[in-house]
């Protein structure tokens, strides 16, 4: 009914009744034994299913300043319950100060890009297609980059090499892929990639909001027009996960007849998007071992923002993001 990981309580079963008694949160499902958690062990509550909070539970969560983040099993931030937002002030101050520091910006940006390139290199090795050397060159060059524009240049070249590898990986499937195009996606492969990246972005938003970070305060992507640049940043190390997932769908679960074209935009039929949603949920519910803990992919995605928050707060010496070689 609920699972606690690194101070975060996840409620991911429908019908859980959340109460409070004698300094504890209580969790109860009809016909099952009640669970009780000491409040001092709970830093956040993330609600992914339909749950019922008693007045006492709401009051104690507000009083103790324990944030409750409401999402959904299909992903996407819905809202939050915050009693003492002052907890976020120092963290966000540290975030903004780091954004104004070119050296710290580069530290974060390099860590993001390097995690992404390692993951893409791993995928191309698994698929046994060319492009690994270009990605390895970009990874090596990233260690010596001193400005964001050069880093973006190396990352862009590596991305082109990866998508060329994806094109070759999909040869012999039902789909033809030429290059990554997204505004709007003109073909089924680009359509699936865009949809899956959106699902991933939704999960990243839940994690960043739960961590207390400003989703518009990124380090690698340029801030303009109020874009959620921090979310865009945190998606980067996780793109190889989304790319591997998309390739599997295109090779095993989707067919050209599942798509329709409206003008210059290619979309999955309404009745077939559920294939992607269900497969994505199965992926996120699966388990992975990371840093000595067994956790779901969904929680791993959420924890990336906490990793950044720990670095901003001085708890860790460097931002450490997951990459596909860890899987």
Residue 249 near residue 192 (C-beta atoms within 8 A) = yes
- What is the C-alpha to C-alpha distance for residues 119 and 165, in angstroms, rounded to an integer? 13
**Longest C-alpha distance within the chain, in Å?**
63
Using left for φ > 0, alpha for ψ between -120 and 50, and beta otherwise, residue 179 falls in beta
* Per-residue tokens: 36: 């009780």
Does the annotation flag 307 for ligand binding? no
CA atoms within 13 Å, Cβ hemisphere of 282: 8
* Per-residue tokens: 27: 């969790």
Other C-beta atoms lying within 10 Å of the C-beta of residue 63: 12
Does the annotation flag 221 for ligand binding? yes
Residue 272 near residue 191 (C-beta atoms within 8 A) = no
**Length of the chain (residues):** 327
Does the annotation flag 293 for ligand binding? no
Residues annotated as binding site for Mn(2+)?
A: 155, 221, 236
What residue numbers does the annotated binding site cover?
Answer: 155, 221, 236
């Amino acid at each position: 009914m609920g699972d606690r990981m690194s101070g975060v309580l996840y409620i991911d079963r429908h019908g859980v009744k959340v109460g409070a008694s004698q300094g504890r949160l209580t969790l109860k499902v009809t016909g099952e034994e009640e669970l009780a958690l000491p409040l001092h062990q709970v830093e956040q509550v993330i609600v992914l299913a339909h749950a019922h909070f008693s007045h006492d539970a709401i009051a104690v969560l507000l009083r103790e300043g324990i944030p409750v983040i409401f999402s959904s099993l299909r992903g996407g931030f819905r809202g939050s319950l915050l009693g003492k937002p002052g907890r976020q002030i120092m963290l966000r101050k540290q975030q903004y100060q780091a954004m104004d520091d070119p050296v710290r910006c580069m530290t974060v940006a390099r860590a993001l890009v390097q995690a992404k390139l390692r993951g893409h290199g791993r995928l191309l090795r698994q698929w046994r297609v060319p492009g690994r050397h270009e990605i390895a060159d970009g990874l090596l060059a990233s260690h010596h980059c001193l400005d964001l524009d050069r880093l973006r240049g190396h990352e862009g070249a590596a991305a082109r090499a990866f998508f060329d590898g994806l094109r070759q990986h999909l040869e012999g499937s039902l789909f033809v892929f030429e290059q990554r195009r997204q505004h709007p996606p003109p073909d089924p492969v680009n359509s699936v990639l865009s949809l899956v990246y959106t699902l991933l972005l939704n999960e990243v938003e839940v994690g960043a909001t739960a961590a207390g970070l400003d989703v518009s305060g990124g380090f690698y992507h340029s801030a303009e027009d109020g874009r959620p640049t921090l979310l865009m940043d945190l998606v980067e190390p996780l793109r190889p996960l989304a790319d591997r997932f998309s390739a599997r769908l295109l090779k095993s679960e989707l067919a050209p007849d599942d798509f329709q074209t409206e003008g210059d935009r290619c979309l999955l039929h309404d009745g077939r998007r559920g294939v992607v949603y269900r497969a994505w949920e199965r992926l996120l519910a699966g388990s992975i071992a990371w840093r000595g803990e067994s956790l779901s992919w969904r929680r791993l995605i959420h924890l990336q923002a906490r990793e950044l928050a720990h670095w901003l707060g001085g708890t860790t010496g460097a931002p450490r993001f997951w990459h596909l070689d860890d899987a």
